[in-house]
Structure 1
Amino acid sequence: MTKRKITQNFIIFSLLLLSFSFANGQTILEDSVMNGNNFQKAAFRLWIGKDIQKVRGIIVMVPGSNGNGRDMVNQPEWQALAKKHNMAILAADIKDKRSPNMAIEQYADVKNGTGQAMLDVLSQLATKSGHPELNTVPFALWGMSAGGEFNYEFACWKPERVITFIVNKGGVYYTALASEATRAVPGVFLTGEIDNPYRNNIVKGIYSVNRRFGAKWIFAEEPGQGHEFAKSEAFTLKYFDEIIPIRLDENGSLKPLSEKAFLGEIGTGKVAATGFNNSFTDITSWLPNTVIVDLWKSLFQ
């Protein structure tokens, strides 16, 4: 094949790729970083819906251990949520380096490399997409198992970039007591009643040590569920829909949570407004409003 022919083929391929990337008015782009400090691969796919002129935030989707979650950007229910709030979707495919125990996800230690890799990839995608605001907008972090580990550690590393985060039945963490700034970021911690007891105790322990010192977080255990999504994804779609406008102003800047909220006792499901005396003896969830109170109850009732 001649050099001229190779060049022509490359141009044709590039044009086809460009047309795919911006098909039907939506934007779908990918980039990756290889062989980082605590990961073998950190690849991400970006989706921006048609008619979104300026992105206000990014829904980040991180799958379970060493999984490829990039196709998650195609899920219509998540696209609908993103469109409603003028947000993009960024879905991850992160692979660990080989280690003696692959059940210990090194890449979940976000501050050690994967967090910066995500930001670096996002910077490249911001240029490719023509959306420079992607470099500064905040994240709503959703994931399962190791994805929840990543989410928590990212919130610990960059709380100023996080709208909210979900910890969903993961069992490996690198931060116990989070900073005051992270404790002010709304988070949701989920376990499954019949999941591995080590996982459950770890998740509840991380939650408890921080909730003791005022973390504005939610905890729920899903009855009869193991290491699976169960109700968590449906809950998160509704929870994000409610919490995003509470946390984001019209310009996409983060707003603090109000001190006026509700406390939900984990063992009983009883609820009381903050600022009032209650007789709770179990640990509690911090519930920003009555809609989220009902969503919380839906997880265990």
Structure 2
Amino acid sequence: MLKKSLVFCLTIIVIISGFSQAKAQTVLEDSVMNGNNFQKAAFRLWIGSETESVTGVIVLVPGSNGNGRTMVEKPEWQALANKYNMALLAAHITDQRSENMAIERYVNVSQESGQAMLDILDRLADKSGHPEIKKAPLAFWGMSAGGQFNYEFACWKPERVISFIVNKGGVYYTALASKATRQVPGVFLTGEIDNPYRNEIVEGIYAVNRRFGAKWMFAEEPGQGHEFAKSEAFALKYFDLIIPIRMQESGLTPLPSSGYLASIENHDIIEDSTRPRPRGVTSWFPNRQIAELWLTLFDQNE
């Protein structure tokens, strides 16, 4: 009986020891104050417990001056990051006081806020023991001013961006993006009942760049105002499709030269080699699956 008891106790000790040695998730923070175009730039990094080497970073940016750092705790974003061995980076960026706080200066990333993010990411890479993060590609999800930040980052450092999402924002600093940025897959979203000035600004930037071959898509969500719940669910599904297209062991892969088109008016999907092409402004998709996901944005029952 004593021998059996000793074996049982030893087994329990081994099990507990195994639990204590299990690798925990990594959560780190860093910040910088009083930059050229921001008051504070603070970020929280999350890396899943099973991720041995980080392949990329999903960047989550909230609306105007908002604290979005708790977004790294959302199970759906963690699941997506784990699926592709990626990290999550969530932001809290605030403007310096000005006479018009509705003009977010920090979204003009080339003026210092973008470099602040990269510098903080480099420091967090060292702290986490994942130096590969310093060169990892970035996928940007944002809301309102967060989408503005995303677009301007893609304009500033297109070679670093997997994809970006513009989501019902209103203040932009770049109208015609570079050719390199136009080759980065982008999603532009407005809401049918959002403020007209926001919609017109987003539509205008989209249209001028799409005219010159931007591989982007556009959707005006029916019945939506300045709201984000539905578009966040779409973003999760979209990233799940675009990340494996873009990320390869050799680095970021260019989008295919041919894909699919759809008129933003009638939503008919065709191969982009089809002639004649649809009249008016179109959306572009790298494959049929992403095109069909885009259609779900117009379903008010989703």
Amino acid corresponding to residue 282 of structure 1 in structure 2 = G
Question: Equivalent residue for 1:12?
Answer: none
Matched pairs, number: 279
Residue 256 (1) aligns with residue 266 (2): no
Question: Equivalent residue for 1:103?
Answer: 102
Deviates most, 161-170 or 226-235: 226-235
Superposition deviation, residue 250 in structure 1: 2.8
Superposition deviation, residue 275 in structure 1: 1.2
Superposition deviation, residue 24 in structure 1: 5.7
Question: Secondary structure of the residue that 1:194 maps to in structure 2?
Answer: coil
Superposition deviation, residue 231 in structure 1: 1.6
Residue 290 (1) aligns with residue 288 (2): yes
Question: Equivalent residue for 1:268?
Answer: 266
Question: Equivalent residue for 1:14?
Answer: none
Distance 2:226 2:207 in 1: 21
Q: Cα RMSD over matched residues?
A: 1.2
Question: Equivalent residue for 2:165?
Answer: 166
Amino acid corresponding to residue 261 of structure 1 in structure 2 = G
Query: What do residues 75-117 of structure 1 show as CA deviations (whole Å, max 9, x unaligned)?
Result: 0000000000110000000000000000000000000011000
Superposition deviation, residue 259 in structure 1: 1.4
Distance 1:102 1:190 in 2: 23
Residue 226 (1) aligns with residue 225 (2): yes
* CA contact 2:185–2:216 (8 Å) conserved in 1: yes
Question: Equivalent residue for 1:150?
Answer: 149
* CA contact 2:143–2:167 (8 Å) conserved in 1: yes
* CA contact 1:272–1:278 (8 Å) conserved in 2: no
Amino acid corresponding to residue 231 of structure 2 in structure 1 = S
For residues 46-125 of structure 1, what are the structure 2 equivalents within 5 Å? 46-125=45-124
**Fraction of identical pairs, as percent:** 69
Residue 209 (1) aligns with residue 189 (2): no
Question: Equivalent residue for 2:5?
Answer: none
Amino acid corresponding to residue 37 of structure 2 in structure 1 = N
* CA contact 1:192–1:223 (8 Å) conserved in 2: yes
Distance 2:291 2:89 in 1: 28
* CA contact 2:23–2:50 (8 Å) conserved in 1: no
Which protein shows a greater Rg? 2
Structure 1 unpaired stretches of 5+: 1-21
Query: What do residues 2-33 of structure 1 show as CA deviations (whole Å, max 9, x unaligned)?
Result: xxxxxxxxxxxxxxxxxxxx996110000001
Question: Secondary structure of the residue that 1:156 maps to in structure 2?
Answer: helix
Question: Secondary structure of the residue that 1:257 maps to in structure 2?
Answer: coil
Question: Secondary structure of the residue that 1:173 maps to in structure 2?
Answer: coil
